[in-house]
Each structure stands twice: as structure tokens, then as C-alpha cells.
Copies of this chain bind each other. A is one copy, B any other.
Amino acid sequence: MKMHNFNSGPSILPDEVMEQAAAAIHDFNGIGLSILEIGHRTSWFGDVMTEARSLVKELMNIGNEHEVLFLHGGASTQFMQVPMNLLDSNETAAYVDNGIWGTKAVKEAKLFGNAIVVSSTKDRNHSYIAKDFSIPADAKYLHFTTNNTVEGTEWHHIPETNVPLVADMSSDIFSRPFDYSKFALIYAGAQKNMGAAGVNIVVVRKDILGIKRAIPAIMDYRNHIEAGSLLNTPPVFAVYVALLTMRWIKKEGGLVEMGKRAKERADLFYNTLNALPAFRPLVVEEDRSFMNATFTTAKPEMEDVFLGLCKQNGMVGVKGHRSVGGLRVSMYNALPLSSVQAITDLMKDFSEKHA
């Protein structure tokens, strides 16, 4: 059976990335050794790291005022590492809380300085994005989550502010053209649009670094910059899968093409959702995520029936996050439009039978 992978992350990757990753486990670039058994200080892996860092800059269209790092861990690590590196104990940072990940980020930041929530959408279960809020003029940075994987909301425009922007882009990085140079720091766990779990990408503008706090060596961005992301043994295979994925993005037409495909998938999905009485969207129309669509069945008791149908039809990952329930369809870069077509067809059938 052809599977349709709507997992929220780890999630679908392009077929050719899988093939190349598997081939490199057998023999990396014809050297007679596996990617899993080469030293990280060999020129073989050095070339992987150099190309990966360079491709991030190329795809994002950013220059040398930014540095690209590949670090262990995921966004949860960055919730701690960002304020550790940027926020001194007597300084203030502004946080936007649009959902479960933003809430976690601000909680960690409070361990390091004066982290304040300047905008929260908790009043309506994070079903929208509040775009009007004020930021203290002395804020060291404004932290927000560009796409809320769990709740299904997304910032479709960058917030306008003079305060340095710090963004968790874990679930929509490389999904659209964006003025990435506007950000002081971007981080993303790789396991949605960029590869396999186990590596973080961090893009940081060098001039915001230089805190006085004593930082553990492995957490200090400056050490990683100086070492070219080879301060310690990096997650070699995960970096390689990220490289393969970025090569694929570039070859397919870069972020312009990714943005076009994301819109096609989202239009098909949400137009169908809007038209069907058996389903209810969870998010207000203008803030709906192009990556993660959250919704419910109109009758709560029908949710399991629909999930059963998904399973029968090889559609995985449709159950909502355990913290919010309901249903969720994730539509990352590698998801073909045909998978969205398949689930919207199923939704139509279901609606006709059960509405």
C-alpha cells in the first residue's frame, strides 16, 4: 500500500534523500567506508559540513554578518541555549506565546534573565496570532515561533519592530521565501523540512553575541563559530541528511518553489475543509499554518471513525498532538500534492456519509 505521511515530525523526506542516505551508509561517495564510520575531522566530512553551512546561506540569501551552525539537539535545547548566550541576568527579553513551544521557550528564558510575555493567545486556545502588542524599548530581543506545529497557526508576515528578532522556525524553515536577513537569530530542529532528528540549525548574526556570563563551553555559540561547527563530534549522519535535503530543495527550485508548493497544498486542504460540514477548522482563517492544519470532526464521537479510515487508507500521523487532541494534517516540503488530494478525497467521502 502507498503510504501518505502526515507526521508532524520526524516527518516525510524526499524519496531521493532516503535513497542517497541509505547508499551513503553502504559506501560514502565511493571511498569504501560508510558515512557512519568516518571521522568528523576527515576532509570527507569537512566537505559535508562546509557545503551544508554554505547551502543554508544560499537558500536563505544571507551574507557574512550571519554564521551558520549545526548543533546537537532540537528546539528544546535552544530554548535554554538562546537566553544563555543572549540574555544577561539584568536584561529583559520579550517573548510571544502562541502555543506549547513558545510557552516552553519563555519558561527556560526566565532561568537566565527577565523574560516577559508581550503577547499571549492562550485566551482562545492559541487558535489565532495576535499581531498588535508592544515591546519594551530596552528588550534585548523578541522571541517568537514562526509556525506553531501543535496548534496549527503560522506568522505569514514578520513582526515589525526595531528589537532584534529571534525565531524558532523548527516547523516552517525553508518552506517559503522570507527576508531571513532581518533576523538576529534563527533556530530549527531539523526533523520537519530539513532532515532527520538529532541536529539543530542555528543562524546567528555575530554582532549580538558577547555576553559576560560564564557559559559552559559546549553551549557557547562563539566556540562553535570559531570551530566551524566542529567543536566536538557533530551528529554526522543528521548533518549529512540535512545537506541532502537542502540539495534537493535547491534543485527543485529553492524557497520560491517550496513556497508555491506549500500554498498549493494548503489551498487544496483548507478549501476542502471550509466546504465540508463534517469537519471544523481549529484556527481562524488568516492565521492558518501552511505546514500543520488542525481541525476536528463536527461530531466529537466521529473522530475515531475518521482516524480508522485514515489508517485503512495508509494515512499516518493524522491524530492531533496529545496536548490539544483533535486532528492534524502536516504538509511539509516533501509531501506531494497527491497525498493532500488523497486525504481531502477521503474527507469528502466521509462528509457525505456522516454529515
Contacts and interface: CB of A to CB of B under 8 A. Distances in A.
B198 A199 contact: yes
B76 A217 contact: yes
Contacts of A198: 72, 198-199, 234-238
Nearest to A110: B214
A233 B74 contact: yes
A92 interface: no
The 9 closest A-B pairs by CB, nearest first: A198-B235, A80-B216, A76-B232, A22-B25, A72-B73, A3-B32, A22-B22, A198-B198, A76-B218
Interface string A255-284: 000000000000000000000000000000
Interface centre among A2, A13, A233 (most CB of B within 10 A): A233
Given A26-B18, A32-B314, A111-B216, A5 B196 contact: no
Interface of A: 1-3, 5, 7-13, 18-19, 21-23, 25-26, 32-34, 36-41, 72-77, 79-80, 104, 107-108, 111, 189, 191, 195-199, 214, 216-219, 231-238, 241, 314, 316-317, 322
Nearest to A109: B216
A216 B108 contact: yes
Nearest to A235: B198
Given A5-B33, A76-B232, A235-B198, A22 B26 contact: yes
Given A5-B33, A104-B217, 18 more contacts: A9-B39, A10-B37, A10-B233, A33-B316, A36-B195, A39-B317, A72-B73, A73-B218, A74-B233, A76-B218, A76-B231, A76-B232, A77-B232, A80-B216, A80-B217, A108-B216, A198-B238, A238-B238
Given A196-B237, A234-B197, A238-B235, A39 B217 contact: no
B36 A80 contact: no
A286 to B, nearest CB: 29
- Copies of this chain in the oligomer: 2
Given A198-B238, A231-B76, A7 B217 contact: no
Contacts of A234: 197-198
Contacts of A34: 13, 18
B80 A218 contact: yes
Contacts of A111: 214, 216
Contact of A218 (B19, B37, B79, B238): B79
A104 B223 CA distance: 14
Contacts of A9: 39, 233
A8 B39 contact: yes
B40 A11 contact: no
A236 B216 CA distance: 26
7 contacts: A7-B37, A8-B39, A73-B73, A74-B232, A74-B233, A80-B217, A197-B236
Contacts of A18: 25-26, 34, 36-37
Contacts of A241: 36
A231 to B, nearest CB: 7
A243 to B, nearest CB: 14
Contact of A7 (B8, B39, B80, B232): B39
Contacts of A72: 72-74, 77, 198
A73 to B, nearest CB: 4
